Amino acid sequence: MNSVLGPVAAFVAVLVLIPVALWLLKRTPIGAAASQGPMKLVAALPLGPNQKLLTVEVGSGDERRWLVLGVTPGGINALHTMAPQAELPAAGQAALPFAQLLSRARGAAPAAPAAPKGDDGAH
């Protein structure tokens, strides 16, 4: 009976030590990820079933940047880096079309909206 008790006690000890080790890793600088600051999702635009366009804010203070990322099943690509924008449209307001946002980011004058197809102005 003593020959079975030793391995069972060792097994139970290992099971108890696993959550304790994970808890310690989470709370020590060695186990914590060394990050420059907080990271948060600013906006997400689904493009297809497995494709998204994400804007993520990284860093803090003067080092804050927005990253525009293309996310696909094959990987994540950084498409653009920009300074954080001061204003985002409120939840009740309509968001600007992507072309206008891109023009604003490039510093160009906003493009005039195109007339609907089939509308020649005569009624």
How does pLDDT run across 64-104, given as a tens digit for each residue? Answer: 888 999 999 999 999 998 888 865 555 444 566 777 777 77
One-letter amino acid at 55 equals T
Q: How many C-alpha atoms does 121 have within 13 Å on its Cβ side?
A: 2
| Between 19 and 36, residue with greater pLDDT | 19
pTM over 0.75: no
User: Does an H or E element contain 113, and which?
Assistant: none
